[in-house]
Amino acid sequence: MAAPAGGPDKHNPVAGILWMVGAAVCFSASLSLVKALQDGGMSAFQAVLFRQIFGLIIFTPIVFRIGIGSLKTKVPFGHFMRALLGLTGMWTGYFSLTLIDVPESVALQFTLPIFTMICAIFLLGEKMHSHRVIATLVGFGGVLVIVRPGFSDLNLGIFLALAAAAFYATSDTLSRWLARYDQIPSIMMWNFIFMIPMAAIPSAIWWVTPAPDLWWQVLGFAIAGVGAQFCLTRSFGLAEASLVSPILFLRLPLLAAIAFFAFGQTTEIWTWAGAAVIFVAATWMTRVETRKTPAEKPS
């Protein structure tokens, strides 16, 4: 895709790191607010619906400025599948927050880069390199540290958090495939177009009208969700992924603090230890990938 009219972003590591810190803060705020909304009776489907509607409102003027012709697509079914997978990832991730502590759910979802690597191998035909195998084994070793099968009770929320990472990874991998055919504005807009009715149907079935004092939380959740994506995009535009991606690990201490003060949840040492193992595996894999020569990188 051609660079924007203003030219590509200049490499600015400090700005990239600051934008990623903003993304971590917005992600933490978003998850905390959706946890509070679900405690207030709202379904996970409603949370997804409100977030997507707000995103559509924000993004529609951008599409009209670019031109409605940017929505032309050669692969509508691919967009439909991406929206379905993304919706399922959001729902499983949000629902896990009602069954396990927020930091534990987030720590388990740190497996996202590893699941993405696995999906890229099977869906995009990328090669299975030794460092990817090692990172996968170490990362899932971190999952076992958190879950501790045989030493702690297995909760459905654990499997939902891992499923969320897997669904998000598949959706992200499909986005890379769609980018071969369509431009980024088309990919984003079709995601809104398909996901909103998908979320609206179950939302209508299990609808719970938020209490008047919860609507500010709904608005805050939607703003935080869109803000996280915006900060994430700006960060990757200003600095290398291997530099800024590890900053997202800040979500764990931020959410641990919020969970303690807002929900009375404490984070076990096993969650911290397992998250650190997953973090090291994913970060190491990312750095190895970015150090490859252009000839070694997948097209």
Indicate whether 292 pLDDT > 50.
Answer: yes
Q: Which residues of 138-169 are buried (b: 16+ CB within 10 A; e: fewer)?
A: bbbebbebbbeeeeeeeeebbbbbbbbbbbbb
Residue 47 near residue 91, CB atoms below 8 Å: no
The proportion of the chain whose per-residue pLDDT surpasses 90, expressed as a percent, equals 23
Radius of gyration of the chain (CA): 19
Residues forming beta bridges with residue 149, ordered by sequence position: 152
The mean pLDDT value for 158-181 works out to 90
Of the pLDDT bands very low, low, confident and very high (cuts 50, 70, 90), residue 180 is confident
Of the pLDDT bands very low, low, confident and very high (cuts 50, 70, 90), residue 89 is very high
pLDDT of residue 3: 39
Indicate whether 21 pLDDT > 60.
Answer: yes
Residue-wise pLDDT tens digits, 221-261 = 989 988 888 888 788 778 776 677 778 888 889 888 999 88
Of the pLDDT bands very low, low, confident and very high (cuts 50, 70, 90), residue 4 is very low
pLDDT of residue 197: 95
- The domain segmentation of the chain, as residue ranges, is 13-206+214-290
Q: Which of 45-59, 113-127, 285-299 has the highest mean pLDDT?
A: 45-59
Question: Could you tell me the end-to-end alpha-carbon distance of the chain, in angstroms, rounded to an integer?
Answer: 14
Residue 6 near residue 188, CB atoms below 8 Å: no
pLDDT of residue 137: 84
What are residue 149's phi and psi, to 5 degrees?
-60, 135
In this prediction the pTM is: 0.80
The mean pLDDT value for 88-92 works out to 93
